[in-house]
Amino acid sequence: MLAGAAVALTGVAAGCAGNGDVPANCRLSHEVVDSSDDYGDPRESYEYGELSDEAKQVVDAALENGSHSTTADDLGGEPPEFRYWDTTTLYAVTRDGETYYLLTYSGEGCEN
């Protein structure tokens, strides 16, 4: 379904400051996109196997469903690989030889 697509992870935070500062009820959303063309260069690129369990959970769910929304509390913590700022951030994840782009962003409950 997503063959040849790339996974980019972009973070938008409504007042969140980065890793560790996200309130437990902050909505963390993740969306698979076909290309990074509209989002710029990825902040970081990762091999799937090197991701934390929290990051693997959101990548798996986003790949399966096209998008995924959760909270840091649901995950047991914010994925340490990803930043959730007030601007978007793009990440690339390579899994089983394919690179995917996933946009990440935050929403409700993220105000400090």
Q: In whole numbers, what is the pLDDT of the chain averaged over residues?
A: 76
Distance of CA 111 to the CA centre of its chain: 19
- Residue 26 binned pLDDT confidence (cut-offs 50, 70, 90): confident
Whole-model pTM over 0.85: no
Tens digit of pLDDT for each residue in 39-80?
999 999 999 999 999 899 989 998 998 777 776 677 677 788
- Return d(Cα 24, Cα 1) in angstroms, integer: 33
Predicted confidence (pLDDT) at residue 10 exceeds the cutoff of 50: no
- pLDDT for the residue 22: 64
Which among 28, 15, 12, 26 has a CA at the least distance from the CA of 112? 15
Closest among 56, 8, 55 to 33, alpha carbons compared: 8
- DSSP letters for 3-67: TT--EE---B-SS--STT-S-TT-EEEEEE-S-STTT-S-SEEEEGGGS-HHHHHHHHHHHHHSE
Domain ranges for the chain: 7-106
